[in-house]
Structure 1
Amino acid sequence: MEVFSTTGRKRETYQVEVKYSLLWECALGIAAITNSHLLDSLDKPKSYWKEVKTSLSADLQAQLDYVETNNTWKALLQLLHQKDFSSLEAFFEYIDKLTDRELIYQCIPFITETYQPLREQAANKNVDAIEQLREATKDNPFFPSYISFICMIEPQQLKQHLIKVMGGWYKAVIEPELKNLNSILQTDAHTKEDRKVKMEPEEFVEWATGGIKYIPEPSVYKVLLIPQYIYRPWNITADLEGTKVYYYPVSNESITPSDKCMPSNFLVLKHKALGDEVRFRMVKLLFEQSRTLQEMTEKLALGKSTIHHHLKILRSAQLVGIEDGKYVLKTRAIASLAKELEQYLQQ
């Protein structure tokens, strides 16, 4: 039976905003280098990360070890969303002036509106509230331990750490490439702004992120798109009050705008991901049905670490996703490959 609408109203959707800043690039660089298991799937080769690590001071390396243990890159991103900071110094001044409670509250991840009272109580070190937030986020790989850490650390110690690691990384990694990085981020943001006025919000988000189809959710009124270079090819997502955030990878065209033959990075990623026999077999298996990591391991008779590595590549290319604990083939992305290649050749 067909159902017809008599309301005459379109389904409500969200607004889209594009912002860029070297401060986000700085915080994401700290997140990348301390996320060891993902380094082999990033655009920048392992040799780059090894070279960066060896060039850093002993103090900064110690701060990065602290980040890797406690995921304090998340605190940096949370704080950067509190206002538009004009400079690194303005960001440090903001952190320094926060009360202990304000600092902890702003560093605790937003879950949903339902959990906001618990977030308030956890910022006051209420043990029951902290435990309830941990339970609510148990499916996230690091939120429970991060919440415990943030709520229990001495605030002045956290402030000092955040300022040291952000300032150290900015000076060592961002400043030497400041002009080039700013140009790339600015070019990409302006390109996205130009395209935004020509597309519907959901279509635009899918295009900008290389295939993420974000359906409007209750209480989410805005999608914030933030271009990033350091974490390519991954999209990183975050939730704020009323806002969904995507730190999306800048396009190849923004990196080398003078090269008119430069293909889309998402197009290249997809073809690279399919340029391997094991990954082709995975696509075939997932085309048949969604499967768990264990099921994929049994079907292909390969080690879990090998399977996981190949799945990371397929996921970063937006060909595979995860739903309800199972890997799922994005059939629409597979079907559009030929059309995307044709569009590139004819541009």
Structure 2
Amino acid sequence: MKLLNITNRKRESYQVSFRHSILLECALGIAAVTNTPLHDSMEKSKVYWSNLRENLSPELQAALDYVEKHNTWKTLLQLCHYHHCENLQGFLSFIEELEDSQLKFYSLPYLGNELQEMRRGASEGDKEGCLGLMEATKEHNFFPDYIQFVCESDTAKLKVHLKTVMTKWYEEFVQPSELEICEILQRDVASKREMGEKLTSEQLVEWATGGIDYRAEPNVQEVLLVPQQIYRPWNIEADMEGMKIFYYPVSDESIAPDDRYTPDHFLVAKYKALGDEARLKMVKHMVEKKCTLQELTSLLDLGKSTIHHHLKILRAAKLVDSRDGVYTLRKQALTFMEDDLQRYLDR
């Protein structure tokens, strides 16, 4: 599980819902192709993304350059959630009909109920409100610049940009395989809902996302799970009013349902990670307590570089988490392994 955090909020139960949309997949594709620092860690290779972008029309390339500079993919995602359009034309009409302040309000990130009035003021031209939002997000990697861009934007030009990049990306990249993409998203939601009948809300989120241990927080009544193929293997996290959103990577099974014999990548990784005596010993120790690298080195009488290598494998398999130098076993992930194996065998 990889997590790309685009929220600025700090961490009661919640309900889980699903939504799949070709428009959300479009917006996420625009985000993916313009997030060049992450191309080395995506399922598609860096060369793939580079070649893709070079073969797009000059108009779309220019629009994507603007996205990369100002992170307007975030605007597209937010707008998709504020108005659930069934098709591209409906989405374009929605954008065109928005009043200036409403467009800016929808575009600005949700930062919690306590900052909603400031967000509203910023969208209506209050410079102090804009500065306040920028200050509140100063530790975020792109929110301050994005907030300033939205507040200072000429909305007529912004609308033209949003409609252009969404239309051209859909026509040139998504539309040729739209039916296949929709079928993949539908299959994945169906499988997750089936599994959800056996799990708590927290367990379902963890299983669907491949390892995110999300606990309820104030003002969040719902977790929305949105399947996506384009950004695999990353999860993308976002906030909306009363809602936490995870755009999670669809499973291999959803992509190739007729292939009964190829197991999911993470299922293989988990069993491989446990197929080693030293790593099993490490898991045993972490069942008993959280451990540091130094503690594991002493307990197993192995070198730090060797222990670090084994921990890297366990983390890649989503069996272990690390925070501030302390390693924790994801016990629920071990529990899921039996169910995942049985699902594979029953396929």
Please confirm whether the aligned pair reaches a TM-score higher than 0.5, indicating the same fold.
yes
Partner residue of 1:56? 56
The one-letter amino acid paired with 1:117 is E
Give the direction of change, closer, same or farther, for the CA distance of 1:146–1:212 in structure 2 (3 Å limit): same
Q: 1:126 is matched with which residue?
A: 126
Query: What is the aligned partner in structure 1 of residue 190 from structure 2?
Result: 190
Per the alignment, residue 36 of structure 2 pairs with 36
Can you give the 5+ residue segments of structure 1 that lack an aligned partner in the other structure? 1-11, 276-282, 292-298, 301-306
Equivalents in 1 of 2:270, 2:48: separation in Å?
23
Distance (Å, rounded) in 1 between the aligned partners of 2:262 and 2:107: 40
Deviates more, 1:201-210 or 1:241-250: 201-210
Structure 2 residue runs without a partner (length 5+): 1-11, 276-282, 295-303
Query: Residue in 2 aligned with 1:92?
Result: 92
Does residue 154 in structure 1 map to residue 158 in structure 2? no
Identity within the alignment, %: 44
Deviation at 1:78, TM superposition (A): 0.4
Q: 2:264, 2:100 → 1: CA distance?
A: 45
Contact 1:235 1:248 in 2 (8 A): yes
**Residue in 2 that maps onto 1:5:** none
Q: Deviations over 1:256-288 (max 9, x none)?
A: 11122232243346579999xxxxxxx99xx74
- Which amino acid in structure 2 is aligned with residue 289 of structure 1? T
Residues 292 and 326, structure 2, Cα contact 8 Å, conserved in 1: no
* 1:164-313 alignment runs, 5 A limit: 164-268=164-268, 288-289=291-292
Distance in structure 1 (CA, Å) of the matches to 2:267 and 2:333:
11
RMSD: 3.4
Please state whether the residue corresponding to 2:234 is helix, strand or coil: coil
CA distance in 2, matches of 1:331, 1:343: 20
Normalised TM-score (structure 2): 0.80
Q: CA deviation at 1:289?
A: 3.1
Q: Is the 2:318–2:330 contact (alpha carbons within 8 Å) kept by the matching residues of 1?
A: no
Counterparts of 2:39 and 2:101, CA distance in 1: 34
Change (3 A) 1:127 1:79: same
2:111: which partner in 1? 111
SS at 1:81 equivalent: helix
Structure 1 residue runs of 4+, over 6 Å off? 271-275, 313-316
* CA distances 1:75-119 after superposition (whole Å, capped 9, x unpaired): 000000012211000000000000000000000000111110110
Task: Report Cα offsets for 1:159-178 as digits up to 9, x if no partner.
Answer: 11111111111111101111
Q: For the Cα contact (< 8 Å) 1:233–1:316, is it kept in 2?
A: no
Q: State the distance in 1 between where 2:18 and 2:87 align.
A: 18
- Once residues 130 and 69 of structure 1 are traced to their aligned partners in structure 2, the CA distance between those partners, rounded to angstroms, is 19
Pair 316,116 (structure 1): closer, same or farther in 2 beyond 3 Å: farther
Structure 2 contact 111–239 (Cα < 8 Å) conserved: yes
Alpha-carbon distance in structure 2 between the residues aligned to 1:38 and 1:329:
26
Kept in 2, the 8 Å contact 1:234–1:316? The answer is: no
Residues 338/112 of structure 1: CA separation in 2 closer, same or farther (3 Å cut) = closer
Distance in 2 (alpha carbons) for counterparts of 1:333 and 1:198: 14
CA contact (8 A) 2:75 2:108 kept: yes
Aligned partner letter, 1:89: Q
Residue 120 of structure 1 and its aligned partner are, at CA, apart by: 0.6
Paired residue type of 2:292: Q
Provide the C-alpha distance between the structure 1 equivalents of 2:111 and 2:326, rounded to a whole number of angstroms. 24
Structure having greater relative contact order (Cα 8 Å, sep ≥ 6): 2
CA distance in 1, matches of 2:40, 2:160: 31
For residues 130 and 273 of structure 1, what CA distance do their matches in structure 2 show? 48
- Asked if the contact 2:29/2:231 (under 8 Å) is kept, the reply is yes
Counterpart AA for 1:86: E
Correspondence for 1:81: 81
Distance 1:30 1:272 in 2: 34
Cα deviation 1:312-338 (Å, max 9, x = unaligned): x98775456675x77865554786697
Residues 267, 337 of structure 2: 8 Å contact kept: no
**Cα distance in 1 between the residues matched to 2:251 and 2:158:** 35
SS of residue matched to 1:227: strand
Q: What's the secondary structure of 1:220's corresponding residue?
A: coil
Q: 2:145: which partner in 1?
A: 145
Amino acid at match of 1:145: D
* Whole-Å separation in 1 of the counterparts to 2:15 and 2:115: 24
| Cα distance in structure 1, aligned partners of 2:42 and 2:220 | 30
Alignment of structure 1 residues 66-77 onto 2, 5 Å: 66-77=66-77
What is the number of equivalent residue pairs in this alignment? 317
Q: Aligned equivalents of 1:60 and 1:93: distance in 2?
A: 20
Deviations 1:2-56 (A, max 9, x none): xxxxxxxxxx511111110111111001101111111111111223212211210
Deviation at 1:211, TM superposition (A): 1.1
1:16 touches 1:225 (CA, 8 Å); kept in 2? yes
Distance in 2, Cα, partners of 1:148 & 1:22: 29
**1:37/1:328 CA distance change after superposition, 3 Å:** farther
Distance 2:28 2:169 in 1: 10
Question: Structure 2 CA distance, aligned partners of 1:75 and 1:179?
Answer: 25
